[in-house]
Amino acid sequence: MRTLATIAAALAVAASFALSAPASAGTLEDVKARGSLKCIINTGLIGFAFTDANGQWQGFDVDFCRATAAAVLGDPNAVEFVNATGKTRFTLLNSGEGDLLYRNTTVTMSRDADLKLTFLGVNYYDGQGFIVPKSLGISSAHDLDGASVCIQTGTTTELNLADFFRANNISYESVPIETNEEARQTYLAGRCDAYTTDHSGLAATRASFDDPSAHVLLPEIISKEPLGPAVRQGDDEWADVVRWVMTALIEAEEYGITSGNADQLVSGSDNPSVRRILGVEGSYGSFIGLDEEWARRAIKSVGNYGEIFERHLGPNTPIGLERGLNAQWTDGGLLYAYPIR
Protein backbone atom coordinates (compact mmCIF):
# COMPACT_ATOMS: atom_id res chain seq x y z
CA MET A 1 0.00 0.00 0.00
CA ARG A 2 2.79 2.33 0.96
CA THR A 3 4.54 1.81 -2.37
CA LEU A 4 1.32 2.61 -4.17
CA ALA A 5 1.07 5.85 -2.25
CA THR A 6 4.68 6.72 -3.04
CA ILE A 7 4.13 6.18 -6.72
CA ALA A 8 0.99 8.29 -6.65
CA ALA A 9 2.88 11.05 -4.87
CA ALA A 10 5.69 10.90 -7.40
CA LEU A 11 3.12 11.12 -10.15
CA ALA A 12 1.53 14.17 -8.57
CA VAL A 13 4.92 15.86 -8.27
CA ALA A 14 5.71 15.10 -11.88
CA ALA A 15 2.35 16.46 -12.98
CA SER A 16 2.74 19.66 -11.00
CA PHE A 17 6.21 20.10 -12.44
CA ALA A 18 4.77 19.69 -15.90
CA LEU A 19 2.07 22.26 -15.29
CA SER A 20 4.27 24.78 -13.56
CA ALA A 21 6.92 24.86 -16.29
CA PRO A 22 7.48 28.50 -17.13
CA ALA A 23 5.79 29.87 -20.18
CA SER A 24 8.33 31.03 -22.70
CA ALA A 25 9.15 34.69 -22.31
CA GLY A 26 11.17 36.60 -24.88
CA THR A 27 14.87 35.85 -25.04
CA LEU A 28 15.70 39.39 -23.88
CA GLU A 29 13.73 38.88 -20.67
CA ASP A 30 15.25 35.44 -20.23
CA VAL A 31 18.76 36.84 -20.56
CA LYS A 32 18.07 39.66 -18.13
CA ALA A 33 16.48 37.30 -15.64
CA ARG A 34 19.34 34.87 -15.93
CA GLY A 35 21.93 37.61 -15.65
CA SER A 36 24.08 36.07 -18.31
CA LEU A 37 24.15 35.70 -22.05
CA LYS A 38 24.61 32.29 -23.67
CA CYS A 39 26.65 32.89 -26.78
CA ILE A 40 27.44 30.11 -29.23
CA ILE A 41 30.99 30.34 -30.58
CA ASN A 42 33.55 28.22 -32.37
CA THR A 43 35.32 25.39 -30.54
CA GLY A 44 38.62 27.00 -31.41
CA LEU A 45 39.72 29.15 -34.32
CA ILE A 46 42.65 31.40 -33.75
CA GLY A 47 41.60 35.02 -34.15
CA PHE A 48 37.88 34.33 -33.92
CA ALA A 49 37.45 32.25 -30.78
CA PHE A 50 40.23 30.68 -28.77
CA THR A 51 41.33 30.41 -25.16
CA ASP A 52 44.25 32.45 -23.89
CA ALA A 53 46.81 31.54 -21.23
CA ASN A 54 44.27 32.16 -18.45
CA GLY A 55 41.63 29.98 -20.01
CA GLN A 56 39.62 33.05 -21.08
CA TRP A 57 37.92 33.09 -24.44
CA GLN A 58 39.36 35.65 -26.84
CA GLY A 59 38.75 36.61 -30.43
CA PHE A 60 36.76 38.55 -32.96
CA ASP A 61 33.47 36.71 -32.50
CA VAL A 62 34.00 36.50 -28.76
CA ASP A 63 34.23 40.28 -28.52
CA PHE A 64 30.91 40.72 -30.29
CA CYS A 65 29.38 38.41 -27.70
CA ARG A 66 30.95 40.44 -24.92
CA ALA A 67 29.71 43.69 -26.46
CA THR A 68 26.18 42.31 -26.55
CA ALA A 69 26.44 41.25 -22.91
CA ALA A 70 27.78 44.70 -21.99
CA ALA A 71 24.87 46.39 -23.75
CA VAL A 72 22.18 44.15 -22.29
CA LEU A 73 23.54 43.30 -18.84
CA GLY A 74 26.16 45.98 -18.28
CA ASP A 75 28.92 43.42 -17.88
CA PRO A 76 31.05 42.20 -20.78
CA ASN A 77 31.99 39.15 -18.71
CA ALA A 78 28.43 38.01 -18.13
CA VAL A 79 28.71 35.60 -21.02
CA GLU A 80 28.49 31.84 -20.96
CA PHE A 81 30.27 30.61 -24.03
CA VAL A 82 28.75 27.58 -25.68
CA ASN A 83 31.18 25.88 -28.01
CA ALA A 84 29.77 24.49 -31.19
CA THR A 85 31.19 22.66 -34.14
CA GLY A 86 29.95 23.54 -37.60
CA LYS A 87 27.54 20.69 -37.23
CA THR A 88 26.03 21.40 -33.86
CA ARG A 89 25.66 25.17 -33.95
CA PHE A 90 22.15 25.47 -35.41
CA THR A 91 20.69 22.69 -33.35
CA LEU A 92 22.17 24.29 -30.24
CA LEU A 93 20.61 27.61 -31.14
CA ASN A 94 17.23 26.17 -32.04
CA SER A 95 17.04 24.01 -28.96
CA GLY A 96 17.63 27.03 -26.75
CA GLU A 97 21.15 26.06 -25.71
CA GLY A 98 22.32 29.49 -26.73
CA ASP A 99 20.73 32.92 -27.07
CA LEU A 100 22.68 33.95 -30.12
CA LEU A 101 25.19 32.57 -32.56
CA TYR A 102 28.44 34.31 -33.35
CA ARG A 103 30.38 31.53 -34.98
CA ASN A 104 31.71 32.74 -38.33
CA THR A 105 28.45 31.62 -39.83
CA THR A 106 27.62 32.28 -43.46
CA VAL A 107 24.27 33.91 -44.13
CA THR A 108 22.39 31.87 -46.71
CA MET A 109 18.80 31.70 -47.81
CA SER A 110 18.26 28.10 -46.77
CA ARG A 111 19.61 28.73 -43.31
CA ASP A 112 17.51 31.85 -42.94
CA ALA A 113 14.29 30.37 -44.28
CA ASP A 114 14.52 26.58 -43.97
CA LEU A 115 16.55 26.21 -40.79
CA LYS A 116 14.32 28.84 -39.17
CA LEU A 117 17.04 31.24 -38.12
CA THR A 118 17.09 35.01 -38.29
CA PHE A 119 20.32 36.57 -39.49
CA LEU A 120 21.09 40.06 -38.33
CA GLY A 121 23.60 41.43 -40.78
CA VAL A 122 27.21 40.79 -41.57
CA ASN A 123 30.19 41.33 -39.31
CA TYR A 124 32.79 39.85 -41.63
CA TYR A 125 32.83 39.60 -45.43
CA ASP A 126 34.65 36.48 -46.43
CA GLY A 127 35.02 34.00 -49.25
CA GLN A 128 36.08 30.40 -49.49
CA GLY A 129 39.66 29.76 -50.56
CA PHE A 130 42.27 27.03 -50.61
CA ILE A 131 45.62 26.63 -48.94
CA VAL A 132 48.23 24.28 -50.40
CA PRO A 133 51.87 23.52 -49.64
CA LYS A 134 54.21 25.53 -51.81
CA SER A 135 56.09 22.34 -52.64
CA LEU A 136 53.15 21.08 -54.72
CA GLY A 137 53.82 23.85 -57.20
CA ILE A 138 50.17 24.66 -57.77
CA SER A 139 49.03 28.13 -58.70
CA SER A 140 45.32 27.58 -59.27
CA ALA A 141 42.50 25.56 -57.77
CA HIS A 142 41.84 24.24 -61.28
CA ASP A 143 45.07 22.24 -60.98
CA LEU A 144 43.66 20.22 -58.11
CA ASP A 145 42.33 17.36 -60.27
CA GLY A 146 42.46 14.14 -58.28
CA ALA A 147 43.54 15.86 -55.07
CA SER A 148 42.38 15.22 -51.53
CA VAL A 149 40.81 18.27 -49.94
CA CYS A 150 40.22 18.70 -46.20
CA ILE A 151 36.97 20.46 -45.34
CA GLN A 152 35.19 21.38 -42.16
CA THR A 153 31.96 19.48 -42.09
CA GLY A 154 28.59 21.06 -41.38
CA THR A 155 29.52 24.28 -43.13
CA THR A 156 28.68 25.90 -46.42
CA THR A 157 32.20 25.03 -47.54
CA GLU A 158 31.38 21.42 -48.29
CA LEU A 159 28.47 22.48 -50.46
CA ASN A 160 30.57 25.10 -52.27
CA LEU A 161 33.34 22.62 -52.79
CA ALA A 162 31.00 20.04 -54.33
CA ASP A 163 29.58 22.79 -56.58
CA PHE A 164 32.99 24.12 -57.62
CA PHE A 165 34.44 20.77 -58.59
CA ARG A 166 31.25 19.67 -60.31
CA ALA A 167 31.00 22.92 -62.29
CA ASN A 168 34.61 22.58 -63.40
CA ASN A 169 34.34 18.85 -63.92
CA ILE A 170 37.31 18.10 -61.68
CA SER A 171 37.54 14.96 -59.60
CA TYR A 172 38.57 15.21 -55.97
CA GLU A 173 38.31 13.46 -52.64
CA SER A 174 36.71 15.28 -49.74
CA VAL A 175 38.06 14.61 -46.26
CA PRO A 176 35.40 15.87 -43.84
CA ILE A 177 36.67 17.05 -40.47
CA GLU A 178 34.82 18.30 -37.46
CA THR A 179 36.88 21.21 -36.13
CA ASN A 180 39.45 23.60 -37.46
CA GLU A 181 42.15 22.30 -35.14
CA GLU A 182 41.73 18.74 -36.38
CA ALA A 183 41.65 19.96 -39.96
CA ARG A 184 44.91 21.78 -39.34
CA GLN A 185 46.60 18.67 -37.96
CA THR A 186 45.27 16.48 -40.72
CA TYR A 187 46.39 18.89 -43.42
CA LEU A 188 49.85 19.26 -41.90
CA ALA A 189 50.22 15.51 -41.61
CA GLY A 190 49.81 15.30 -45.36
CA ARG A 191 46.48 13.52 -45.38
CA CYS A 192 45.17 16.20 -47.78
CA ASP A 193 46.75 18.17 -50.58
CA ALA A 194 44.67 21.23 -49.84
CA TYR A 195 42.58 22.65 -47.03
CA THR A 196 39.58 24.74 -47.85
CA THR A 197 37.60 27.05 -45.62
CA ASP A 198 36.88 30.75 -45.34
CA HIS A 199 39.80 32.94 -46.36
CA SER A 200 40.05 34.45 -42.89
CA GLY A 201 40.12 31.02 -41.35
CA LEU A 202 42.86 29.93 -43.72
CA ALA A 203 44.97 32.95 -42.81
CA ALA A 204 44.38 32.28 -39.13
CA THR A 205 45.27 28.63 -39.51
CA ARG A 206 48.36 29.38 -41.54
CA ALA A 207 49.53 31.74 -38.83
CA SER A 208 49.75 28.79 -36.45
CA PHE A 209 51.99 26.72 -38.74
CA ASP A 210 55.65 26.14 -37.92
CA ASP A 211 56.63 27.59 -41.25
CA PRO A 212 53.76 29.68 -42.64
CA SER A 213 55.79 30.63 -45.70
CA ALA A 214 55.79 27.02 -46.90
CA HIS A 215 52.08 27.26 -47.68
CA VAL A 216 50.26 29.48 -50.14
CA LEU A 217 46.69 30.62 -50.45
CA LEU A 218 45.37 29.99 -53.95
CA PRO A 219 43.95 33.03 -55.75
CA GLU A 220 40.50 31.53 -56.36
CA ILE A 221 37.76 32.62 -54.06
CA ILE A 222 35.05 30.14 -54.92
CA SER A 223 32.17 31.59 -52.94
CA LYS A 224 30.71 34.55 -51.14
CA GLU A 225 30.78 34.04 -47.40
CA PRO A 226 29.11 36.88 -45.56
CA LEU A 227 29.55 35.90 -41.92
CA GLY A 228 27.12 37.19 -39.39
CA PRO A 229 25.24 36.57 -36.14
CA ALA A 230 21.96 34.69 -35.96
CA VAL A 231 19.16 34.16 -33.46
CA ARG A 232 16.10 31.93 -33.41
CA GLN A 233 13.32 32.94 -35.76
CA GLY A 234 10.26 34.56 -34.26
CA ASP A 235 11.79 36.67 -31.50
CA ASP A 236 11.99 40.08 -33.15
CA GLU A 237 12.72 41.99 -29.94
CA TRP A 238 15.83 40.00 -29.26
CA ALA A 239 16.86 40.09 -32.92
CA ASP A 240 16.72 43.88 -32.75
CA VAL A 241 19.00 43.99 -29.73
CA VAL A 242 21.68 41.83 -31.33
CA ARG A 243 21.42 43.59 -34.70
CA TRP A 244 21.76 47.08 -33.27
CA VAL A 245 24.59 46.29 -30.90
CA MET A 246 26.59 45.02 -33.85
CA THR A 247 25.54 48.00 -35.95
CA ALA A 248 26.56 50.39 -33.20
CA LEU A 249 30.05 48.92 -33.10
CA ILE A 250 30.44 49.36 -36.85
CA GLU A 251 28.97 52.83 -36.89
CA ALA A 252 31.15 53.82 -33.94
CA GLU A 253 34.20 53.25 -36.09
CA GLU A 254 32.72 55.34 -38.87
CA TYR A 255 32.30 58.25 -36.49
CA GLY A 256 35.56 57.76 -34.67
CA ILE A 257 34.17 56.63 -31.32
CA THR A 258 36.67 54.35 -29.59
CA SER A 259 36.80 52.59 -26.25
CA GLY A 260 39.21 55.32 -25.16
CA ASN A 261 37.30 58.42 -26.13
CA ALA A 262 33.68 57.31 -25.69
CA ASP A 263 33.32 58.95 -22.30
CA GLN A 264 34.87 62.25 -23.42
CA LEU A 265 32.69 62.35 -26.52
CA VAL A 266 29.56 62.14 -24.39
CA SER A 267 30.00 65.76 -23.51
CA GLY A 268 32.60 66.77 -26.04
CA SER A 269 30.94 66.02 -29.35
CA ASP A 270 28.44 68.06 -31.31
CA ASN A 271 28.02 65.44 -34.02
CA PRO A 272 24.38 64.34 -33.73
CA SER A 273 25.23 60.83 -35.01
CA VAL A 274 27.83 60.42 -32.29
CA ARG A 275 25.47 61.78 -29.67
CA ARG A 276 22.74 59.36 -30.75
CA ILE A 277 25.07 56.36 -30.55
CA LEU A 278 26.29 57.40 -27.14
CA GLY A 279 22.76 57.83 -25.90
CA VAL A 280 22.99 61.57 -25.28
CA GLU A 281 20.38 62.43 -27.85
CA GLY A 282 17.13 60.63 -28.42
CA SER A 283 15.92 57.52 -26.66
CA TYR A 284 17.10 54.82 -28.98
CA GLY A 285 17.93 52.39 -26.19
CA SER A 286 14.34 52.22 -25.09
CA PHE A 287 13.30 51.20 -28.61
CA ILE A 288 15.05 47.90 -28.09
CA GLY A 289 14.20 47.43 -24.45
CA LEU A 290 17.52 48.66 -23.05
CA ASP A 291 18.68 51.78 -21.26
CA GLU A 292 20.28 54.72 -23.07
CA GLU A 293 23.89 53.81 -22.38
CA TRP A 294 23.69 50.45 -24.12
CA ALA A 295 25.97 51.28 -27.05
CA ARG A 296 28.38 53.30 -24.94
CA ARG A 297 28.93 50.28 -22.67
CA ALA A 298 29.41 47.98 -25.64
CA ILE A 299 32.00 50.28 -27.22
CA LYS A 300 33.80 50.89 -23.94
CA SER A 301 34.05 47.19 -23.19
CA VAL A 302 35.55 45.92 -26.44
CA GLY A 303 36.09 48.97 -28.65
CA ASN A 304 34.58 49.76 -32.03
CA TYR A 305 34.64 47.43 -35.00
CA GLY A 306 38.06 48.65 -36.13
CA GLU A 307 39.59 48.13 -32.69
CA ILE A 308 38.21 44.61 -32.46
CA PHE A 309 39.54 43.84 -35.93
CA GLU A 310 42.98 45.26 -35.18
CA ARG A 311 43.21 43.38 -31.90
CA HIS A 312 42.42 39.93 -33.23
CA LEU A 313 42.86 39.81 -36.99
CA GLY A 314 44.76 42.90 -38.13
CA PRO A 315 48.22 43.24 -39.62
CA ASN A 316 49.84 43.40 -36.18
CA THR A 317 48.51 40.02 -35.13
CA PRO A 318 49.99 36.69 -36.21
CA ILE A 319 47.02 36.34 -38.54
CA GLY A 320 47.80 39.55 -40.32
CA LEU A 321 44.65 40.16 -42.34
CA GLU A 322 44.12 43.41 -44.24
CA ARG A 323 40.78 45.13 -43.87
CA GLY A 324 39.97 44.58 -47.57
CA LEU A 325 36.22 44.12 -47.98
CA ASN A 326 35.83 44.72 -44.29
CA ALA A 327 36.87 48.36 -44.43
CA GLN A 328 34.29 51.08 -43.91
CA TRP A 329 32.46 52.13 -47.04
CA THR A 330 34.21 55.47 -46.76
CA ASP A 331 37.50 53.59 -47.22
CA GLY A 332 36.30 51.53 -50.13
CA GLY A 333 35.06 48.54 -48.14
CA LEU A 334 31.62 47.01 -47.73
CA LEU A 335 30.90 48.05 -44.13
CA TYR A 336 27.90 50.32 -44.45
CA ALA A 337 26.13 50.37 -41.12
CA TYR A 338 22.43 51.12 -40.94
CA PRO A 339 22.19 54.53 -39.35
CA ILE A 340 21.16 54.73 -35.73
CA ARG A 341 18.46 57.31 -35.85
Partner 1 sequence: MTSVTTDPAQDPRMSGASKPPSLFDGGLQGFLRRKEVRAVLYQILAVTVLFAAFAWMGNNVVINLKALGKDFSYEFLGQASNYDINQRPIEYDSQSTHGRAMLIGIINTGLVAFVGIIFASVIGLLVAIARLSPNWLLSRLAYAFTEFVRNVPVLLHILLVYGVVITVLPNQREGEEPFTLFDRVILSNRGLFIPKPEMHQGAGYLFIAFLAACALAYLWRRYAKVRQEQEGKTLPVLLPSLGLIILLPFLMWLTSPDSLTFSIPEQGRFNVKHGLRLLPEFFALTLALAIYTSAFIAEVIRAGILSVSKGQKEAAGALGFSRLYALRLIILPQALRVAIPPITNQYLNLTKNSSLAIAIGYQDIVGTIGGITLNQTGREMECMILVLLLYLSFSLFISFLMNIYNRSIALVER
Partner 2 sequence: MADTTAHKDEEQAPITERIPAVGWVWKNLFSTPLNTVLTLFSLWLIWKVGFSFVDWAFLKGVLFADSRVACREISPHGACWGIISERFDIFVYGRYPHEHRWRVNLSFILLIVALAPVLWETMPFRKRGLLFTVAYPFIAGWLLAGGLFGLDPVNTRNFSGFMLTLVIGVTGISLSLPIGVALALARRSSMPVLRIIAVVFIEFIRGVPLITLLFIASVLLAYFLPPGTDFDLIIRVLIMVTLFASAYMAEVIRGGFQALPRGQYEAAEALGLSYWKSLQKIYLPQVLRISIPGIVNSFIGLYKDTTLVIIIGLLDPLGIGRSLLSDAKWAGLAAEMYLFVALFYFISCFAMSRYSLYLERKLEREQAAEQN
**Contacting positions for partner 2 (CB under 8 A):** 18, 21-25, 30, 34, 36, 43-46, 50-53, 55, 80-85, 88, 91-92, 94-97, 179-181, 184-185, 188, 207-208, 210, 318
Q: How many CB atoms lie within 10 A of CB 96?
A: 12
Q: Judge contact between 206 and 212, C-beta under 8 A.
A: yes
Spatial CA neighbour of 131 closest among 60, 221, 224: 221
Distance between CA atoms of 88 and 221, rounded to whole angstroms?
A: 26
Distance between CA atoms of 311 and 178, rounded to whole angstroms?
A: 27
Tell me, by CB under 8 A, how many residues bind partner 1. Answer: 51
Q: Check residue 28 for interaction with partner 1 (CB under 8 A).
A: no
Selected from 6, 9, 12, 24, the binder of partner 1 by CB under 8 A is 24
Contacted entry of partner 2, partner 1, none for residue 22, CB cut-off 5 to 8 Å set by kind: partner 2
Distance between CA atoms of 270 and 335, rounded to whole angstroms?
A: 24
Selected from 87, 224, 275, 311, the binder of partner 1 by CB under 8 A is 87
Only one of the segments 47-55, 56-64, 69-77, 231-239 lies at the binding site for partner 1 (rule: CB under 8 A); that segment is 231-239
Distance between CA atoms of 292 and 284, rounded to whole angstroms?
A: 7
Minimum gap (Å) between residue 238 Cβ and partner 2: 13
Q: Judge contact between 173 and 150, C-beta under 8 A.
A: no
Minimum gap (Å) between residue 125 Cβ and partner 2: 24
Provide the H-helix boundaries in 146-198. 156-167, 180-188
Selected from 26, 32, 97, 191, the binder of partner 1 by CB under 8 A is 191
Q: Judge contact between 61 and 43, C-beta under 8 A.
A: no
Minimum gap (Å) between residue 78 Cβ and partner 2: 10
Spatial CA neighbour of 232 closest among 90, 341, 102, 71: 90
Distance between CA atoms of 300 and 258, rounded to whole angstroms?
A: 7
Minimum gap (Å) between residue 341 Cβ and partner 2: 34
Return the number of the residue (115 or 327) whose C-beta is nearest partner 1.
115
- C-alpha radius of gyration, the chain, whole number: 23
Minimum gap (Å) between residue 51 Cβ and partner 2: 6
Residues 243, 46, 256: CA angle, nearest 5 degrees? 45
Q: Check residue 261 for interaction with partner 1 (CB under 8 A).
A: no
List of residues contacting partner 1 (CB under 8 A): 1, 4, 7, 11, 14, 18, 24, 86-87, 90-91, 94-95, 110, 114-116, 133, 135-136, 144-148, 153-154, 158-159, 161-163, 165-166, 172-178, 182, 185-186, 189-191, 193, 232-234
